[in-house]
Chain A
């Protein structure tokens, strides 16, 4: 920055923690941020509020944003709507929970196993595999959906749990983040493990993983969030195998008359992914520090 350096040097006399901050700009930016925060929060707040709105308050004119007589009727109605039209609500919830937990556990195991040699072993083929993984960050499920559908159909997996479970394991984000964070993992620890006669699998399980807990937490969160939200409507036709998300979209397509039940289902779907993030956001931040792509 030669231009800036050429200017006369000015020594700050005022002792403050933050340098170069003018009050008017701070206020202006703060106000702007407040407005944007309100925009981001509004739909979420509305989702929560609607879930507790009695049916007649959906048909008020002029409509009211907030709820006046909160009720839990919508949750009861949601369970009834699903059970009377398709399969019991618990079945959808079970499908969602089964797939999200199953996929998250298996993914974290195979992703850690893949990331460790990719970061720490110097085997032939490492470079190309690493760059394919970075490129594949862009080829997400949505982009490759038709191609995946054909493969799943060929393997006769359409209309089974496998159709949602297996493709979700092909995500590269977790592997990428794990590799990035393992680069700075002290090699001495690995070597001391080898001197003690531990094999690579034991080194990974007993020396590496216990020392990268924030990274593992982050992988769990990202994987859980994405699998929790999978809409299997193109892959699953059997009502008994559909996840909650698909059931929700079937409810909301019925329009305003199902607004209460739809909002209740939205709220149930909304809470777990946000909650997991709230609990372990400091781990995520620690991990994301190493997310940069060196080109």
Chain B
């Protein structure tokens, strides 16, 4: 890999020598800094202030964080829900993505392409999760309620997206349905590129079934893909928010049953304009995302 970095000398001459390289990099670096890097730094700084977008921010020390963990019970609910989402849907969708990719890997090409499209389609269909709203509609006209009632399993319609007993579970299912994205494609491509002769050699060496093949040959060959897949799944697992807001009300959901950190953040940020507090929430989210990446890389290695 060409990434091996030699000792750089940051002298003006070295920089000047590569002026063309920097000029090519510049447009992207500017948008990247303005809309990803600076916002993150900005959020960290503002999280120690009181800021309502109108007046100059006032420094408040650790106030926002103290309020988050000791006064704001709703935040703790959001934290709990987000962790449930992340811990369940993160690893599950990661394993599913790999498992599906592995299952369809040996199919004839045309069928494999068809299955790839089928599994990948929900993740790019963006807002098609609205269809779940009609399937699990609260009245007896909804597909699920109607069928369960007509089969005699239910007596009256269940409020799927309102009842705290069910809504979190359904959102998790919807999230899993949506989550076979870029990492799934990477896994398929990775599996396809494992050298077939390795399997033959392994068979000679006594690998007896496909599961042993998977463990001894396929997985070690795909380490880099697995790391990429993990990075892509992490942000998806922690940034559940649009779905809960659209399907079960997010920050308006009954007993905050499906409130996530993203919803809580939007509530304080774009609704109440308490930007300092919203920034503190986002900093917690950054830390969680970054820490889980570190953890996962450690496990996978």
Interface size range of chain B in the complex: 35 or more
Is there an interface contact between A8 and B206, defined as CB atoms closer than 8 Å? yes
CB distance from B113 to the nearest CB of A (A): 6
The reply to whether B43 and A140 contact each other, CB–CB distance below 8 Å, is no
Instruction: Give the Cβ gap from A24 to chain B, nearest Cβ, in Å.
Output: 11
Q: Which residues of B contact A133 (CB under 8 A)?
A: 32
**Chain B residues in 8 Å Cβ range of A255:** 137
Q: Is A5 a contact partner of B205 (Cβ separation < 8 A)?
A: yes
Chain A: which residue is nearest B15 at the CB level? A124
With A46-B131, A147-B279 already in contact, the answer to whether A142 and B239 are too (CB < 8 A) is yes
Given contacts A183-B3, A229-B127, A269-B126, contact A137 B279 (CB under 8 A): no
Measured between alpha carbons, how far is A120 from B46 in the docked complex, in Å? 38
* A291 CB–B CB distance under 8 Å: yes
Let me know if B188 is at the binding interface, CB within 8 A.
yes
Chain A contacts of B163 at CB under 8 A? none
- Contact partner of B223 among A6, A169, A292, CB < 8 A? A292
Would you call the interface of chain B mostly helix, strand, loop, or mixed?
helix
Find out whether the CB atom of B127 lies under 8 angstroms from the CB atom of A63: no
Output the least CB separation between A137 and chain B (Å).
5
CA distance A138 to B38 in the complex (A): 16
Q: Name which residue of chain A comes closest to B240, CB basis.
A: A142
Considering the chains assembled together, what is the distance between the CA atoms of A173 and B183 in angstroms? 11
Residues of A near B140 (CB, < 8 A) are 61
**Contacting pair A146 B282 (CB below 8 A):** yes
| Contact yes or no, B185 A285, CB < 8 A | yes
Contact residues, B213-247 vs A (CB, 8 A): 213, 216, 222-225, 227-228, 231-232, 234-236, 238-239, 241-242, 246
Smallest beta-carbon distance B24→chain A, Å: 5
Task: Flag if B134 contacts A153 (CB, 8 Å).
Answer: no
With contacts A37-B115, A39-B177, A122-B6 taken as known, whether A113 is within 8 angstroms of B28 at the C-beta atoms is yes
Does A4 interact with chain B (Cβ within 8 Å)?
yes
In the complex with contacts A9-B204, A285-B188, A292-B227, A263-B131 CB distance below 8 A: yes
Residue A84, interface by CB 8 Å: no
- Residues in A neighbouring B129, C-beta threshold 8 A: 43
| Residues of B contacting A43 in the complex (Cβ-Cβ under 8 angstroms) | 122, 128-129, 131-132, 135, 177
**Residue among A59, A169, A173, A234 with max Cβ neighbours from chain B (10 Å):** A169
CB pair B36 A139 closer than 8 Å: yes
Number of inter-chain CB pairs below 8 Å: 353
Interface readout for B84-121 with A: 1 if CB under 8 Å, 0 if not?
00000000000000001001101000000101111111
Task: Specify which chain A residues have a CB less than 8 angstroms from the CB of B25 in the assembled complex.
Answer: 113-114, 117-118, 129
On whether the beta carbons of A183 and B1 are closer than 8 Å, the reply is yes
Q: Say whether A284 contacts B185, CB under 8 Å.
A: yes
Contact B289 A44 (CB under 8 A): no
A contact residues around B36 at 8 Å (CB): 136, 139, 144, 170, 172
Q: By the criterion CB–CB under 8 Å, are B133 and A9 in contact?
A: no
Judge if B262 is at the interface, Cβ distance under 8 Å.
Answer: yes
B126 touches A229 (CB 8 A): yes
**CB within 8 Å for A116 and B24 given contacts A40-B119, A266-B131, A274-B121:** yes
How many angstroms from the CA of A33 to the CA of B101 in the assembled complex? 11
The interface on chain A, measured as residues whose beta carbon lies within 8 A of the other chain's beta carbons, has a size of 121
In the complex, the answer to whether A170 meets B35 with C-beta atoms within 8 Å is yes
Inter-chain contacts of B282 with A (CB < 8 A): 143-147
Q: A245-B126, A277-B124, A294-B3 are contacts. A142–B242 as well, Cβ < 8 Å? A: yes
Q: Which of B62-70, B71-79, B145-153 contacts A (4 or more CB under 8 A)?
A: B145-153
Q: Which residues of A contact B137 (CB under 8 A)?
A: 255-256
List, in ascending order, chain B residues with CB within 8 A of A281's CB: 113, 116-117
Chain A residues near B166 (CB, 8 Å)?
none
Chain B residues within an 8 Å CB radius of A293: 224, 227-228, 231
Let me know if B228 and A259 touch, CB within 8 A: no
Choose from A4, A121, A143, A144 the contact partner of B21 (Cβ within 8 Å).
Answer: A121
Q: Is B256 an interface residue (CB 8 A)?
A: no
Which of chain A's residues have a CB closer than 8 A to the CB of B34? 151, 166, 170
Cβ-defined contact, B205 with A19, below 8 A: no
8 smallest CB-CB distances across A and B, nearest first, come from A292-B224, A229-B126, A147-B39, A62-B150, A142-B239, A123-B18, A288-B189, A63-B146
Q: Which residues of B contact A (CB under 8 A)?
A: 1-3, 5-6, 8-10, 14-15, 17-18, 20-22, 24-25, 27-29, 31-32, 34-40, 42-43, 46, 53, 100, 103-104, 106, 113, 115-122, 124-135, 137, 139-143, 146-147, 149-150, 177, 180, 182, 185-186, 188-190, 192-193, 199-200, 202-210, 212-213, 216, 222-225, 227-228, 231-232, 234-236, 238-239, 241-242, 246, 262, 265-266, 269-270, 275, 278-279, 281-282, 285-286, 289-290, 293, 297, 301
Which residues in A have some Cβ–Cβ distance to B below 8 Å? 1, 4-12, 18-22, 25, 29, 32-33, 36-37, 39-41, 43-44, 46-47, 50, 58-63, 65, 110-111, 113-114, 116-127, 129-130, 132-140, 142-151, 153, 166-167, 169-170, 172-173, 175, 183, 199-201, 204, 222, 225, 228-229, 231, 234, 245, 248-249, 252, 255-256, 259, 262-263, 266, 269-270, 273-274, 277-278, 281-282, 284-289, 291-295
Interchain Cβ contacts under 8 Å between A and B, 7 examples: A20-B199, A43-B129, A46-B131, A142-B235, A234-B266, A281-B113, A292-B186
